[in-house]
């Protein structure tokens, strides 16, 4: 038996991503969000990491996909950064 969170490998909604990305990635916020959305802290850290990567870097790492595009779109919607 594994210790995976309840929502392990499930898609994030736009509202969840807006909530996550609207907060600073502090230890306290990550722990609160992990509990709130039944996700791992490491999964949340990846969202913040991918949000800061350029499209070119994501493509190079073979991470330019539906999920990272959703993250970039949400970042643009909430004014964090422009879409590269």
Q: What is the pLDDT of residues 37-71, one digit of tens each?
A: 999 999 999 999 999 998 899 899 898 999 999 99
* C-alpha separations of 49 from 1, 3, 6, 63, 73 in Å: 29, 23, 22, 12, 15
Tokens of 68: 């990272």
Higher-pLDDT residue of 4 and 26 is: 26
Tell me the pTM. Answer: 0.85
**Other CB atoms within 10 Å distance of the CB of residue 74:** 22
DSSP 68: H
């Amino acid at each position: 038996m594994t210790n995976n969170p309840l929502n392990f490998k499930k898609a994030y909604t736009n509202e969840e991503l807006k909530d996550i990305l609207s907060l600073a990635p502090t230890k306290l916020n990550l722990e609160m969000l992990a509990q709130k959305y039944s996700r791992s802290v490491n999964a949340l850290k990846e969202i913040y990491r991918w949000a800061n990567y350029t499209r070119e870097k994501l493509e190079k790492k073979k991470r330019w996909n539906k999920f990272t595009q959703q993250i970039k779109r949400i970042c643009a919607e909430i004014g964090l950064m422009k879409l590269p």
